[in-house]
Chains A and B, each alone.
Chain A
Amino acid sequence: MGATLSLWIGQTINGLVLGNIYALLAAGLALIFGVAGLVNFAHGSVYMVGSYAGWIAISLLGWPVWAALPAAVAVGALLGLLLERLAVRPFQRAAHVAPLLATIGAGMILDSLAEIVFSPNPRSFPAVLPDRRLSLGIVSIGFLDLLILGVSIACAASLFVLLKYSRMGRALRAAAQDADAARQMGVRVTRANAAAFALASALGALAGVLIGLYYNFIIPSAGFQAGLKGFTACVLGGMGSVPAAMAGGLVLGLGESYGVAIFGSSARSLIAFSFLLAALFLRPNGIFGGKARQVREALTGSFLPQARAIKVPPLLGAALFLVALALPLVMKSGYVLQVLTGAWIYALFALSLTLVGGTAGIMSLGQAGFMAVGGYASGLLTLKAGWPFAASLLSAGLIAALVGSILAFPALRLKGYYISIATLGIGEIVNQVIVNWDSLTQGALGLAGIPAPRIFGREVFAIGDFYYLSLGVLALGGVAIAAIGASPLGRTARALREDEPAARSLGIDARKYKSLVFAVGAFVAGLAGALTAHLYTYISYETFGSSVSILGLTMVILGGLGNYWGAVLGASILTALPELLRFAAAYRALIYGLILLVVLRFRPQGLLGSE
């Protein structure tokens, strides 16, 4: 009895400590959302940079903790200003989706820079704090716990004082409540945005150092997860209000800790993202959020009006296809064929993204999750149940479509940024389910020994054969998607993208059509995942991570959002390029991020123009 109680109190303390760190992250996100009106997808990366700044201060420079913390804060603030200036301000005038994608690109760049400079491996954070524990009856609380609690409470208090009593704080609050009216009082709203970014990033960086101290290790890939946890906390508590978001952070921390005590530590992320989806579907305004705020219409509606796409005439398309067919006869290099096979699979994935994101206007940030579903479905059906490939391929698509519809349907009535956060959460949940459902998926071990496909009695084993298989599926998928795009369904989807209220006034059921297009996209992504599984014969939850989703988006933006040939072109370029340049993985991500930002800034309609 005493043991259980002390366990629960211990978990409560854990939950509060973690919760405070989430609160710091969430506060920053809520501040930026309130003042600048956008969701900062680079926030997690800022957190990660902060953790490394702390590491440099403590490990390399030998500074004491009380000096390292302010240093990280300063680094964070500067990074925030830089982010605002380079990845936000140039895009504020551009339509809707641009700031979202720009911050995603910025995050990618930061993450890959960290990997390049610090290596992608975990790095231990020196334990510089005394190991003392304070005994409070049946429990003990560590010095570190107290430090974290103390620092975060101090930060929350300072933030509160700043926002409530200082001139800048008033300006920030005014800009958040009514930017136009604030402007008419003489507030420089661009400066307010920059200040919000600086403050938010300072808090985020601080959270990074504290986590480093807490867990004793840091790693560049932590940024993405941290960002998601921050979103979860924000959505749970209430996106537009800093105190509500912070409360959400505490709830998340406690929820995770109690959940982990019940379900085991591997369930931590699954619990967190289930909270995210539950909050989005049930109480999008958050537990503590008040009446519905003016939601900025961010992610539906055309990316770019007045875009003239470059059309690929059918004859040219057929010719290109024939060239692709003939290639293996001319080029015997297995390596080239392998790269191109990968390109065809990515092109299929990109097609699914451009259909959903371009034609229907729904920015799906977790599309790789559907690849995962398809890959595992086909892999398991052939490996464990002995199904023939054709059936497993088709099932992979159908299962992915089913999962997609079920998960997305509640999300599609959300507005603006919430849909994209939901898709991000969906992608992550799929991965977490895969990791945790050991009995089905072999969890973290991954699925090995996936059999080669058998088509028309012939085993597809040689790379040349796989090349044709992928090309064939791509061609069929491409033709089908193009047919959909040109059909009344495509027309209706575009109408919803252009102006949903107007479309609804014509009798168009928005949710039904958006779900339909989303399901088709998930189907195609599922096919791509299945091909991947059989090509590599081994997949794990890491094969289809968030970086794949974002790479897909980059391909689509590069080619032109909504442009089907553009998706193929973008996929080909971004698959072939790193091979040609033989860059290490981290450099590739850096280049992708840079390409995304450059295209968004200088040619947002992409190479072939958006449709």
Chain B
Amino acid sequence: MGVPLLEAKGLSKAFGGIHALRSLDLAMDEGETLGVIGPNGAGKTTLFNILAGSDRADSGRISLRGRDITRYGPERRARAGLARTFQHGRSFANLSVEDNIVLGAHVERIAARAGVFGGAVEIAQALFPAGPFAREEKALRLRARTIAELFGERLAPRLGDPAYSLSYANRRRLEIARALAAKPAIVLLDEPTAGMNPSETAEMLDFLMGLKADGLSMVVIEHKLPLVMRLADRVLVMDEGEKIAEGPPGAVARDTRVIEAYLGPSRTVVAAAPEPAGSSSPTADGGL
């Protein structure tokens, strides 16, 4: 078993008087997919931002493969092998599909690894793009194509197109492609199917299952429980900043606490409001 891939202990965060996270623990191993679910305002995005490094917890520790990354900003976490996507899909609109994906591999570039001399290396690469620089670019472009082809016909034929010309679903796929470019140790996916219709959702699920089969470790925030049930190995349920349940998806879905968290506690109907004349009969309009 060894060291868990990602481990967080006692994460707490308060904004003003609001406790967004209350001493949350989580752990996951290599090759696992952890689903994070919970109603609005449960603290999922706060947790994500803290795991990704764009926000800092008030207390607690995070480690990646045993390495303490609590103080790392998002840039260092990327170098450490952590990748993330954003809730509404933030691709670089005016850059091409290919450039988007290539940028995902930034941490592997010679210039990015040159530390203090990075600036000089970048200028040198810009003015004299030959030799190792040319080889690097070629390799990155090839990798971009390979990753794009994982999405079949969605992205590969559009490598030269600007990201803004892509459909919403394709832009989300692009963002994931970009996150995969640096061959990260772990990917944090923030609602990867938000805004997608059922067929797009199903396609994305297949894709993510494929990644999982290839051994990718993922943390996924999602609301569509059927998706989480099929994709996640374990599910962590949050409500009001706390973990209220954790376990295999099937067990979690049947947990009454979880159902209550989403739909609210059952309430005795006090003095039922008078019904206006002509109330309608129940209808279930259309399907999904």
Residues of chain A at the chain B interface (Cβ within 8 Å): 302, 305-307, 480, 483-484, 487-492, 494-495, 498-499, 501-510, 512-513, 515-516, 519-520, 611
Contacts and interface: CB of A to CB of B under 8 A. Distances in A.
Nearest to A485: B126
A495 B95 contact: yes
Contacts of B182: 506-507
A512 B83 CA distance: 21
Contacts of B53: 505
B104 to A, nearest CB: 6
Given A491-B103, A504-B73, A302 B93 contact: yes
B178 interface: yes
Interface residues of B, number: 40
> What 9 pairs between A and B have smallest CB-CB spacing?
A507-B78, A487-B126, A507-B107, A498-B92, A502-B90, A489-B122, A484-B126, A516-B119, A504-B74
A515 B92 CA distance: 21
A487 B129 contact: yes
Given A488-B137, A507-B112, A305 B94 contact: yes
A502 to B, nearest CB: 4
Given A306-B164, A498-B95, A504-B74, 15 more contacts: A484-B127, A487-B125, A488-B109, A488-B122, A489-B111, A495-B99, A498-B93, A501-B90, A502-B91, A504-B78, A505-B54, A505-B78, A505-B86, A506-B78, A506-B104
B118 interface: yes
A447 to B, nearest CB: 30
Nearest to A504: B74
Interface in B224-269: none
A494 B54 contact: no
B84 interface: yes
Interface of B is mostly: helix
A264 B73 CA distance: 46
A507 B118 contact: no
B123 A489 contact: yes
8 contacts: A483-B127, A488-B137, A491-B99, A494-B95, A503-B92, A505-B83, A506-B78, A506-B107
B200 interface: no
A506 B95 CA distance: 15
B169 interface: no
Contacts, number: 111
Given A487-B125, A502-B86, A512-B119, A507 B79 contact: yes
A503 B125 contact: no
Contacts of A513: 122
Nearest to B175: A502
Given A494-B94, A494-B95, A506 B106 contact: yes
A445 to B, nearest CB: 37
A505 B125 contact: no
Contacts of A494: 92, 94-95
Given A480-B127, A516-B119, A507 B90 contact: no
B147 interface: no
Nearest to B119: A516
B21 interface: no
A499 B122 CA distance: 20
A492 B90 CA distance: 15
A492 B126 contact: no
Nearest to A611: B94
Given A506-B78, A516-B119, A302 B94 contact: yes
Nearest to B107: A507
Given A504-B73, A508-B106, A490 B126 contact: yes
B102 interface: yes
A499 B109 CA distance: 20
Determine which residue in A484, A490, A507 has the highest number of CB atoms from chain B within 10 A of its CB, and name it. A507
A149 B102 CA distance: 61
B99 A509 contact: no
Contacts of A491: 95, 99, 102-103
Contacts of A492: 103, 106, 122
Interface string B117-144: 0110011011101000000010000000
A172 to B, nearest CB: 25
B52 interface: yes
Nearest to A307: B94
B58 interface: no
Nearest to A510: B75
A483 B126 contact: yes
Nearest to A562: B94
A513 B122 CA distance: 9
Interface string B168-183: 0000000000100010
Interface in B63-105: 73-76, 78-79, 83-84, 86, 90-95, 99, 102-104
